[in-house]
């Protein structure tokens, strides 16, 4: 009987560990919504959509170095209140490995990669941070550049060993060049360098280029098809197209808000384009499959290829094929709406909607999150299984 009780206890502990295992579903903005001292940091995570970059790495061990409201105010001031510059800094504070006091004391000083390095915006060395073991129980993080300021960890906000941690540091991690951002003043040049000369020429000829430029500092996501896209078999002949239809086509390839390739994977609903009407006409949906993101018109899909510019609130992405309003599409028969599946799920939202990570914050306003990773339905199933296992072993 004693052995049965020991076995039952072991089985129960295993079940509970499985039920509570925080492997998937973490949402950084929803977590930080429970901490008023990080309200400003959380706000910038949503505005820059760095939250989506963090949330998209569910299987990656990460450590988020958060700043108090006062320290975040300092960082914003150092960045000249420039959102693109602040985004660089928030990416640098998102470390692609797990750290806590116990690990640092065991392994000592290390160098770790960050989201800033992973985006390709930094050199291999400047994109890193150093993890430094200090005296007593203290440890700190700093930029990888020589003589960089040490930012001591003042609080381990949440730790989930070897999976996810949120640590508060005393001051922003910065280095010379961190706040440098790409120039976006010459949109025509950006398009031409990206291999989208035809698109740039059409935009200039119709006057839509001016529409794009006026929206760049308010919120614009521009999907630019490469030159080959205009030669595709089913592409409309832009040479014979009326100015009105051509204008509509060009506006259809833009969203009146800031989105990144990563954040597009999270949105829900119909995604409004600059051509969309109040009745909802000329919208698109997003189909995400792994790292691939496509825009679906209902008759064809256009794959989002590369990010040319990501400078909040402006994003320039290239497409492999032309994004065409259904009424202007040539050749292909009407296709049924794609059915979502675990491997391929539609994900889109109104263009002026906030990041999906920020949406979850509303669900946490009535209670403080107790875990860095949201519970999944498997937890309830595992808990039920625990009861069955325990009952059977105690009989």
Q: Looking at residues 216-225, what average pLDDT do you find?
A: 97
Q: Are 310 and 213 in contact (CB under 8 A)?
A: no
Residue 259: predicted pLDDT: 97
Q: What is the DSSP string of 320-380?
A: SS----GGG--SPPPPPPPPP-SSSEE----TTSPPHHHHGGGGGTTS----SS---HHHH
- CA–chain centroid gap for 51, Å, is 5
pLDDT tops 80 at residue 181:
yes
Rounded-to-integer distance, Cα 347 and Cα 33, Å: 24
Kindly state the helix (H) or strand (E) to which residue 272 belongs, with its residue range: strand 271-272
Q: Tell whether the model's pLDDT for residue 128 goes beyond 70.
A: yes
Q: So what's the pLDDT on residue 388?
A: 45
- Provide CATH code, domain 25-180: 2.30.180.10
Per-residue pLDDT band for 276 (boundaries 50, 70, 90) equals: very high
pLDDT above 50 for 337 = no
pLDDT exceeds cutoff 70 at 344: no
Paired sense of beta strands 129-133 and 345-346, if any: unpaired
Q: Over the chain, what is the mean pLDDT?
A: 83
Please report the pLDDT score of residue 174 as a whole number. 97
Considering the entire predicted model, what is its pTM? 0.78
Residues in a beta bridge with 8:
none
- pLDDT tens digits for range 193-203: 999 999 999 99
Q: Fill in the DSSP letter of residue 149.
A: P
Cis link prior to 128 (omega < 30° from 0)?
A: no
pLDDT in tens, 356-389: 444 444 444 444 444 444 444 444 444 444 444 4
Cα separation, 146 vs 121, in Å, equals 20
| Spatial separation of the C-alpha atoms in residues 272 and 254, rounded to whole Å | 9
Measured distance CA(88)–CA(116) in Å, rounded = 6
Measured CA to CA, the distance from residue 317 to residue 237 in angstroms comes to 23
DSSP per position, 8-40: HHHHHHHHHHHHH---S---HHHHHTT-GGGHH
Tell me the percentage of the chain whose pLDDT exceeds 70: 75
pLDDT recorded at residue 5: 52
Average pLDDT over residues 337-364: 45
Could you say which of 3.40.1010.20, 2.60.120.560, 2.30.180.10, 3.40.109.10 is the CATH number of the domain covering 189-346? Answer: 2.30.180.10
Look at residue 125 in the predicted model and tell me its pLDDT: 60
pLDDT band at residue 264 using 50, 70 and 90 as cut-offs: very high
Stretch among 60-64, 98-102, 153-157, 178-182 having the lowest mean pLDDT = 178-182
pLDDT surpasses 50 at 350: no
């Amino acid at each position: 009987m004693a052995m049965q009780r020991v076995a039952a206890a072991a089985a129960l502990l295993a079940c509970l560990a499985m039920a509570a295992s925080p492997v998937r579903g973490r949402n950084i903005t929803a977590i930080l919504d429970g901490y008023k001292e990080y309200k400003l940091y959380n706000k910038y995570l949503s505005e820059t959509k760095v939250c989506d970059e963090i949330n998209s790495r569910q299987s990656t061990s990460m450590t988020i170095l958060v700043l108090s409201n006062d320290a975040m105010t300092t960082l914003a001031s150092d960045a000249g209140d420039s959102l693109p510059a602040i985004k660089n800094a928030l990416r640098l504070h998102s470390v692609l490995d797990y750290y806590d006091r116990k690990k640092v004391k065991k392994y000592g000083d290390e160098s770790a990669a960050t989201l800033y390095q992973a985006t390709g915006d930094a050199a291999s060395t400047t994109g890193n941070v150093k993890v430094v073991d200090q005296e007593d129980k203290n440890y700190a993080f700093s930029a990888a550049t020589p003589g960089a300021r040490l930012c001591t960890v003042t609080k381990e906000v949440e730790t989930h060993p070897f999976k996810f941690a949120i640590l508060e540091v005393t001051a922003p991690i910065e280095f010379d060049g961190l706040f440098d951002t790409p120039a976006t003043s010459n949109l025509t040049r950006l398009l031409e360098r990206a291999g989208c000369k035809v698109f740039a020429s059409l935009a200039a000829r119709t006057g839509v280029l001016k529409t794009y430029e006026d929206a760049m500092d308010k919120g614009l996501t521009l999907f630019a098809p490469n030159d080959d896209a205009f030669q595709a078999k089913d592409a409309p002949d832009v040479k014979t197209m009326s100015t009105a239809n051509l204008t509509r086509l060009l506006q259809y390839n833009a969203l009146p808000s800031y989105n990144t390739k990563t954040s597009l994977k999270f949105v829900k609903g119909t995604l409004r384009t600059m051509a969309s009407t109040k009745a909802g006409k000329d919208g698109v949906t997003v189909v995400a499959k792994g790292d691939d993101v496509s825009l679906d018109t209902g008759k064809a899909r256009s794959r989002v290829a590369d990010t040319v510019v990501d400078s909040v609130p402006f994003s320039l992405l290239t497409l492999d094929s032309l994004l065409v309003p259904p009424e202007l599409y040539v050749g292909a028969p009407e296709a049924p709406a794609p059915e979502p599946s675990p491997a391929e799920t539609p994900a889109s939202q109104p263009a002026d909607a906030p990041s999906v990570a920020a949406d979850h914050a509303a669900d946490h306003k009535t209670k403080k999150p107790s875990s860095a990773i949201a519970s999944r339905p498997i937890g309830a199933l595992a808990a039920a299984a625990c009861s069955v296992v325990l009952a059977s072993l105690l009989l």
